[in-house]
Structure 1
Amino acid sequence: MPLSAATSAATARRNWIAVACAQHARRGCATPGAGYMQVCHGKVAPLQRIRPGDRVAYYAPTVTMGGKDRLQAFVSIGIVLPGSPYAFDMGGGFVPSRRDVAYVPAREAAIAPLLDALEFVDDRQRWGSKFRFGLLAVSDHDMRMIARAMQAELQSLHF
């Protein structure tokens, strides 16, 4: 592979779906200009896979953590900002790792209408199992579909 192609592949923008209850995901984008993401109960390792410039959409299976209040919707979408994961003391001994994110204006969007169009859904009956690890890499096609469903401005997401 030529050096320019290798460099391009190494710096390609990636797309991620992060999973959290809506209450937690909404907290991460509640303050304009101070957005952040946490995944997998604050673990740093998954955040280290993500790079500045990557796109991230939050999927919320429920409204509250551990709740039976099913939502099954995308609740926020944005671009990961420069910087590394960092620890943040939330009090009570909980110090999760975070990354900063520039969220874009968007509407929450149910996943059900998208299931037949998303490339990562390979089994319509078990699509939710893809989210069990809390962070899922997806294609440009899938992120674009999610962004459109959320009525997010595609240019803001560098499409």
Structure 2
Amino acid sequence: MAKFWIGVVSKEHVLRGVEGGFCQVCHGKKGPLNRMKKGDYLLYYSPKYQLNSQEKLQAFTAVGKIIDDTAYQVEMFEGFFPFRRDVSYYQPIRDCLIEQVRLHPEWHQYASQLRYGHFKISKDFFLYVFEQMKLDNPVET
């Protein structure tokens, strides 16, 4: 049975993963990636646009499905060998600001976990956020 996860990553890094068809969480650590299994779903939350910037975003920025069996290591640049997983990303989608999900009954439970970088969520919460991200879903004004 598929599980559902949140990864906390800057939007700039999320976009690299979407473009390359991979995910990377917790600064490339292997353990969190191997908690996910093939067929699990990953929802990215981006607190900021860029890792070393103070400019806040606070939005869900990508969603995908894990399509490989285990984490693998790559050399991203000299001396840095993070682990990754292959992901099939859903597109096109739009960012979903946290204001759009604060009314969900589980939001407060997950909001307090965002500092951990990677954690499991309920299918219900995942589907709620994913609905908000779909382009054919009208945004309330």
Q: Does TM, normalized by the shorter one, top 0.5? A: yes
Gaps of at least 5 residues in structure 1 are 1-11, 154-159
- Percent identity, please: 33
Pairing partner for 2:80 from 83, 94, 110: 94
Contact 1:118 1:145 in 2 (8 A): no
Q: 1:44 & 1:93 partners in 2: Cα distance?
A: 16
Letter in 1 for 2:56: R
The answer to whether residue 129 in structure 2 is matched with residue 143 in structure 1 is: no
Q: 2:105 & 2:42 partners in 1: Cα distance?
A: 15
CA RMSD, Structure 1 to Structure 2 (Å): 1.6
- Cα deviation per residue 1:29-66 (whole Å; 9 max; x = unaligned)? 02xxx410001000001111000000101100000103
Q: 1:151 to 1:118 in 2, by over 3 A?
A: farther
Q: 1:139 & 1:152 partners in 2: Cα distance?
A: 22
In terms of Rg, which structure is larger?
1
Number of positions where the alignment pairs a residue of Structure 1 with one of Structure 2: 135
Letter in 2 for 1:117: H
The answer to whether residue 100 in structure 2 is matched with residue 113 in structure 1 is: yes
How far residue 136 of structure 1 moved from its aligned partner, in angstroms, is 1.5
Contact 1:54 1:80 in 2 (8 A): yes
Secondary structure at the counterpart of residue 74 of structure 1: strand
Q: 1:103 & 1:136 partners in 2: Cα distance?
A: 19
Contact 2:60 2:98 in 1 (8 A): yes
Gaps of at least 5 residues in structure 2 are 137-141
